[in-house]
Amino acid sequence: MQKAMEEVLCIYYTIELLRMLEILHSVGIIHGDFKPDNLLVRYAREDLTEDTFSSRTGPWRDQGLCLVDWGKGIDLSLFPAGVEFHGDCRTSGFRCVEMQESRTWTYQVDTYGLCVIVHMMLHGSYMSIEKKVKPDGSHHYQPKSPFKRYWNVDLWKNLFSALLNVQSNGSDVPLLQSLRRSFEEYIGRNQQLINKLKHLLVKQKASLCSA
């Protein structure tokens, strides 16, 4: 088990991950191998400022994540409209629910990967999911690991519930956008959280760049 991140750092990187998939999926691109190994951290050259966080301008524009390794990427514009896939990525820990149940998938391969990454940031471990039966007889997937009571539990529950239980293979951009905005609004209205985030990113940069 790896060391978990501070929650505010998890929130920041979750925003970055959601924005990344939102942009890709809006133009019909599936990365297909969305995992920590394929993410690079970008650090701003200039000092981060609190007042430009919400607008993502200034140094914040250069701060974030970069997605690499496009060997499994899929350009949906090269396929007939409404195409769905039935393959298995065979990457342990990153097989989306649809793959596990031999169902068709499109963007879920990426959003499941996002959930695994977020789980690793929060808990320091890979995600295991469980299938719960709802009162109406339908099923609902959720992570087995509980959320710590001092986290913003509603934010995280909403994220995992929404992305692990996608009902359609169509566009997920509105959902990704809504989730991203919920995280941005939470951190953006709390100046103390932004200050804490800024200091943690500086500390993280110093640690990683000196390793």
Domain that holds residue 202: 7-209
Q: Is residue 1 part of a domain?
A: no
pLDDT tens by residue, 191-207: 999 999 999 999 998 88
Q: Is residue 64 part of a domain?
A: yes
Q: What's the distance, Cα to Cα, between the start and end of the chain in Å? A: 20
> In the chain, how many domains are there?
1
Share of the chain above pLDDT 70, in %: 98
Q: What is the pLDDT of residue 159?
A: 98
Q: Is residue 2 part of a domain?
A: no
pLDDT at residue 112 above 90? yes
Q: Is residue 200 part of a domain?
A: yes
pLDDT at residue 161 above 70? yes
| pLDDT bucket at 211, cuts 50 / 70 / 90 | low
Task: Give the residue numbers marked as catalytic.
Answer: 33
CATH code at position 86: 1.10.510.10
Q: Across residues 83-111, what is the average pLDDT?
A: 93
Answer yes or no: are the C-beta atoms of 64 and 197 closer than 8 Å.
no
C-alpha angle with apex 121: 52 to 149, nearest 5 degrees?
90
Q: What is the pLDDT of residue 151?
A: 95
Q: At what angle do helices 7-26 and 108-123 cross, to 10 degrees?
A: 170
